Each structure stands twice: as C-alpha cells, then as structure tokens.
Amino acid sequence: GAVVSQHPSWVICKSGTSVKIECRSLDFQATTMFWYRQFPKQSLMLMATSNEGSKATYEQGVEKDKFLINHASLTLSTLTVTSAHPEDSSFYICSARDPRYSSYNSPLHFGNGTRLTVT
Amino acid sequence: TQLLEQSPQFLSIQEGENLTVYCNSSSVFSSLQWYRQEPGEGPVLLVTVVTGGEVKKLKRLTFQFGDARKDSSLHITAAQPGDTGLYLCAGALRLAGNTPLVFGKGTRLSVIA
C-alpha cells in the first residue's frame, strides 16, 4: 500500500538553529502534501499545504518565514524550522493522498512524525 | 474555533465494557474519517463515511455518519486493552483531491485489563 516516509523521527537542536524535516512518498507521486503539528496530548493542527512546483499555502497564524516548505519533486516535501525556539518543540507530521485514489474522500497517508525538541 | 468537537476527551474503562465516542460539528462535511494514533506514530485510518446515515462495521467497531453529515460516532463493543490509543475524527470540507483534513481534538482511550 501507499507509504509516506518521514525523516528524522526525532531531533534535538539548540535554540537559534534550523532543522530540516523530509517527507517522502515512497510508491506514489504526490502533487500535494500536508504538514501538521501536534503538541503533547493535543490533536493535529494543519500548518500548511505543500504544492509541488509552487508556493505552499499556510494556515492562519503559521509564519511562512519561520516554517519554510519546499516541494521540489513529486515525491519529496521538506519543512525547515528556521531559528528554532523552545516553543517550536512539537511533533511534526506530514501526509499525502495517493493520487490513484485522489478525491476528497480518500484517506491521508501519514508519515511517522518527527519529534522536535529545541533546547 | 474548533470545527470538529470530539467527546469525551479522555476515557478510561475496564476490559469488556462498551463505549461511544462522538464527533460533532455545525458544518456539513463531504466525508468523515476516523483515525487511530499510537504514541510517537502518525495516525492510521480506520474508516471513511461518506453518505448521511451510513453505518460501517469493523469487527468490534461501529461507525455512524449523521443524516445531515454534521456528526459521527464510534462505538466499541467489549473493549480490549489493545484498543487503547488516541482516536481522531477528521473531515474534508471541500470537494477536491487537494483538500486537507481538519481534525477533532481526539479521544484518548485507556482500556484496563
């Protein structure tokens, strides 16, 4: 079945540094990927929609200059947290739909997430 | 504002008991999906409901979509410790393949042996 791979699964970084998270669709091409953030014991909050070959669409309240999204190919989207601060510590999850079943009803396939800890 | 209200947020029950989780909204959804998430992992799809009034069964889990497509419920019969996890309802508002899902806050279920 469709698989979405996310890397790294966890990362610890110092305040002020940048961290890049990769999201790959392994057996399908994804023109659109979605990035979510999940704080402890909370639900998933959509951060942005990543569009292959064009700019990402950010949700209200998400700083596009802080969370840089690049979707340069049909199988890879990256999220870079720039100048990370402790409040950016969270669980970041990417997802995509398999275009072979592409409709609003088809499920999202999620990566296993990246736990970011900023010290 | 939370588009999807999920209740209860936390539920701790004994093995063998039944439970129901609710997902409500004032908006009409084209479809609703239920996911289950284990700690440190991404959510995994359980079911998609599309038609108002639809009922789907997955072993001991029964999912229902409200007639007006604004609410859904998940009923678990004879819960087992393996059912422990975070259950999330999610919906698509727009009719397009690039539509993201909006998630409820989740119900954290703990089944005690």
Nearest residue to B83 (alpha-carbon basis) of B19, B6, B28: B19
Torsion B99-B68-B23-A62 (CA) sign? positive
Report the pLDDT value the prediction gives residue A81, as an integer from 0 to 100.
98
| pLDDT confidence of residue A44 | 92
Report whether pLDDT(B1) > 60.
no
pLDDT digits 0-9 by tens, A31-55: 889 999 998 878 899 999 998 888 9
- Token pair for A15: 């305040």
d(CA A119, CA A106) in angstroms, rounded, equals: 38
Q: What tens digit of pLDDT does each residue of B73-91 get?
A: 999 999 999 999 999 999 8
Q: Please indicate whether residue B86 or residue B100 has the higher confidence score (pLDDT).
A: B86
| Whether A81 contacts A73, CB under 8 Å | no
Q: What is the pLDDT of residue A67?
A: 97
Nearest Cα of chain B lies from the Cα of A82 at a distance, in angstroms, of 23
Q: Report residue A119's pLDDT band, with 50, 70 and 90 as the boundaries.
A: very high
pLDDT of residue A49: 93
Give the number of A-B residue pairs with CB atoms closer than 8 Å. Answer: 72
The pLDDT of residue A12 is 97
Report the distance separating Cα A68 and Cα A88, nearest Å.
14
Sign of the torsion angle spanned by Cα atoms B23, B27, B31, B33: negative
Please indicate whether, in this complex, the C-beta atoms of B92 and A105 are within 8 angstroms of each other.
yes
Question: Which residue is listed with tokens 């499920």?
Answer: A107
What's the pLDDT tens digit per position in A58-113? Answer: 999 999 999 999 998 999 999 999 999 999 999 999 999 887 765 666 778 899 99
Does the structure show a pLDDT above 70 at B95? no
- CA proximity to A6, closest of A74, A72, A67, A92: A92
Q: How far is B88 from chain A (nearest CA, A)?
A: 8
Record: contact A104-B41, CB cut-off 8 A: no
Query: Which chain A residue lies closest to B94 (C-alpha atoms)?
Result: A104
Task: Calculate mean pLDDT across residues B89-102.
Answer: 79
Contact: B45, A107; criterion CB under 8 Å: yes
Q: pLDDT value at position A19?
A: 98
Q: What pLDDT shows up at residue A1? A: 57
d(CA A118, CA B40): 17
pLDDT digits (tens, 9 = 90+) for B29-67: 888 999 999 988 899 999 999 889 999 999 999 999 999
